[in-house]
Amino acid sequence: VTEPLSDRPLVLVPARRLDSSTAPDFETELLGRIEGGANAVLLDFSTVDYISSAGLRVILLAGKRLRATGGRLALCGLTEDCLEAFRISGFDTLFPLFASVDEGLGA
Amino acid sequence: MIRRALIALIVGVGGAVFVADCLTPTGMVLGVLYGCPVYMAGWLPSRRAPLIAAGVATALTLASPFVSPAHGLVSFTIVNRALAIASIWVSAVLTLLHQQARAVILGQRQELRHANATLERRVAERTEELRLTMVEKERIASELRIASQIQGSILPRTFPPFPERADFEIHAVTLPAREMGGDFYDFFLIDGEHLGIVIADVSGKGVPAAIFMAVTRSLLKATALRAVEPAECLRHVNGLLCPDNEAAMFTTVFYGILHTATGELAYSSAGHQLPYVLRSGGGVQQIAATGGMGLGVLEEARFATKRTVLARGDRLLLYTDGISEAMDDQARMFTERRLRAFLEETDERAPSELIHGLVAEVRRFTGDAPQSDDITALALHFRGRPA
């Protein structure tokens, strides 16, 4: 499923490094927004240099929460290193990945 | 007691001045000496005492000419009495001001004492809080140490693990970044000819990862010992881990079964880095991907088994991203490239030496930077049956 998100999704920009030390803040922020009613979330990864399994877990958690309420999660602008982490873990098949924010917004 | 003595003293001094005043010619300004008892009255706690003393002194000054035996000029008497009375009241006013100033100082001193007492109490309370926190911290640290030992002991740690087997040699190490880790390795003989090898990495680290690791490791081994194909084994364990996985924890796993008679390795990866094969004749290759996804992510995830063959003398290195993503103090990563370069250049033969060499290489790279993730590696040297 790679059609662009509709309904003006919420665009979030994670920290430059998503690892065990930054993942808890990212989790609080992301899940808080979802609980606050955000139904479509686009994560702009263009400035993220590194994502560890702790970061992947937060994205999985957010994806599960959104799916449970009929919402959607997508990512865009993944750097080569992040894309590799998504490919190895198989997460590239779980979420739509777009090249840019514009593409993700369907502009 | 002190107050009474003080009043007596004031009355005594006042009386003495009166007597002296009566005995000297009325033209003398002896009444000025009343300033003494007036000032002394300022030592009493009452704010009115100096005023009362001044009043009494004034009355005595006015009375003394009538009882005084020596009479001087009337005009002198009037002027001097007036001077004496003026000085008495100046003394009274100065005493009052002094008394006020002293009251302010006393008040401030009391406030200071009160503040000190409050501060001391707070310090005592905080110290107690801190002590309790330290006790609690020590308790948790002690539990963590024990838990860490338990975690260490559930993985096979005796090397060489199969001293009677000459057809293969195995070595593994796991170095958690914290007390407890989310990485693990495992190996076990499924039967006389099949060796199971596992490496895995739980999302995150620390205690939550360690608990998930213990569950995954047990499920994997229990399933693997039933001699199921790698992909089937991973699918089964994934099916057990997915339901009720509220925390969205997951484990990437590489599971392989080596047929020790032929060197054939059947394997499947659940979102884990693919092992490297170090060919006996030189050359390093990463084995082919199988697709798959971390265990615990998606109930309907698919896994595939692939096969490769190890020739005699070939070595296999399983590792976690704690190696490829080890960071130096500038947050630069060790990378797959450096790992591959190390494997291409190393002339270490025995699995234990290969692993120690690799860990040393990673440590050289990271320098003083704190270990960013759990580091785990397993090396297998396939020797095959003696010809």
Distance from CA of B104 to the nearest CA of A (A): 54
- At position A75, the amino acid (one-letter code) is L
Measured CA to CA, the distance from residue A95 to residue A66 in angstroms comes to 12
- Residue contact B204–A54, C-beta within 8 A: yes
pLDDT value for B225: 95
- Residue contact A60–B204, C-beta within 8 A: no
Per residue in A62-71, pLDDT (tens digit) is 998 998 888 9
Largest CA distance in chain B: 149
The SS3 assignment for A2 reads coil
Average pLDDT over residues A55-83: 91
pLDDT value for A20: 83
- Measure CB to CB from residue B298 to each of A17, A50, A94 and give the nearest one: A94
- At position B169, the amino acid (one-letter code) is E
pLDDT value for B349: 76
State the best of B179, B180, B184, B203 to mutate against chain A, taking most chain A CBs within 10 Å. B203
Here the ipTM equals 0.83
pLDDT value for A7: 61
Q: Is the CB of residue B339 less than 8 Å from the CB of residue B324? A: yes
- Residue contact B293–A94, C-beta within 8 A: yes
- Residue contact B205–A61, C-beta within 8 A: no
Distance from CA of A67 to the nearest CA of B (A): 12
Number of Cβ within a 10 Å radius of residue B137: 10
Q: Is the CB of residue A18 less than 8 Å from the CB of residue A55? A: yes
Distance from CA of A87 to the nearest CA of B (A): 8
The SS3 assignment for B251 reads strand
- At position B131, the amino acid (one-letter code) is R
Tell me whether residue B101 is exposed, middle or buried, using C-beta atoms within 10 angstroms of its C-beta: 0 to 12, 13 to 18, 19 or more. exposed
- Measure CB to CB from residue A20 to each of B204, B273, B331 and give the nearest one: B204
Distance from CA of B106 to the nearest CA of A (A): 53
Beta carbons within 8 Å of B361's beta carbon, 6+ residues apart: B338, B342
Average pLDDT over residues A50-63: 91
Of B164, B197, B122, B204, give the one whose Cα is nearest residue B374. Answer: B204
pLDDT value for B43: 85
Measured CA to CA, the distance from residue B196 to residue A86 in angstroms comes to 27
Strand order of the sheet with strand B168-175? B168-175, B375-382, B315-319, B276-278, B284-286
- Burial code of B18-32, b = ≥16 C-beta within 10 A, e = fewer? beebbebbbbbbbbb
Write a three-state SS string for B348-382: CCCHHHHHHHHHHHHHHHHCCCCCCCCEEEEEEEE
- Residue contact B293–A90, C-beta within 8 A: yes
pLDDT value for B71: 64
- Measure CB to CB from residue A89 to each of B182, B294, B333 and give the nearest one: B294
State the best of A27, A61, A89 to mutate against chain B, taking most chain B CBs within 10 Å. A89
Q: Is the CB of residue A42 less than 8 Å from the CB of residue A104? A: yes
Measured CA to CA, the distance from residue A41 to residue A47 in angstroms comes to 17
Which helix or strand (DSSP H or E) is residue B156 part of? Answer: none
pLDDT value for B265: 97
Q: Is the CB of residue B381 less than 8 Å from the CB of residue B349? A: yes
pLDDT in tens, chain B (387 residues): 788 888 899 899 888 888 888 887 766 677 788 888 888 888 888 888 888 988 998 988 888 877 776 666 777 778 888 888 899 999 999 998 988 888 899 999 999 999 999 999 999 999 999 999 999 999 999 988 888 888 888 899 998 999 999 999 999 999 988 888 889 999 999 999 999 999 999 988 788 888 899 999 999 999 999 988 999 999 999 999 999 888 889 999 999 999 999 999 999 999 999 999 999 988 999 999 998 999 999 999 999 999 999 999 999 999 999 998 898 988 888 988 999 999 998 877 799 999 999 999 999 999 999 888 889 999 999 998 876
pLDDT value for A79: 92
Beta carbons within 8 Å of A98's beta carbon, 6+ residues apart: A2, A4, A42, A74, A75, A76, A77, A104
The token pair at B252 is 């990437």
How many residues appear in chain B? 387
Q: Is the CB of residue B302 less than 8 Å from the CB of residue B368? A: no
Measured CA to CA, the distance from residue A91 to residue A97 in angstroms comes to 10
Q: Where does chain B have alpha helices with state H?
A: 2-23, 35-41, 49-67, 74-154, 206-224, 230-241, 321-324, 335-345, 351-366
Partners of residue A57 in chain B, C-beta under 8 Å: 203-204, 248-250
Chain A and chain B share a number of CB contacts under 8 A equal to 64
- Burial code of B287-318, b = ≥16 C-beta within 10 A, e = fewer? beebbbbbbbbbeebebbbbebebeeebbbbb
Of B187, B182, B180, give the one whose Cα is nearest residue B155. Answer: B187
Partners of residue A17 in chain B, C-beta under 8 Å: 331
Distance from CA of B341 to the nearest CA of A (A): 19
Measured on CA atoms in the order A24, A25, A26, A32, is the torsion positive or negative? positive
Per residue in A17-40, pLDDT (tens digit) is 888 889 999 999 999 999 888 888
The token pair at B88 is 């008495």
The SS3 assignment for B68 reads coil
Partners of residue B293 in chain A, C-beta under 8 Å: 89-91, 93-94
Of B94, B182, B151, give the one whose Cα is nearest residue B102. Answer: B94
Give the chain A residue nearest B253 (alpha carbons). A89
Of B177, B141, B170, B168, give the one whose Cα is nearest residue B155. Answer: B170
The SS3 assignment for A73 reads strand
Partners of residue A26 in chain B, C-beta under 8 Å: none
The token pair at B265 is 């390795």
pLDDT value for B26: 65
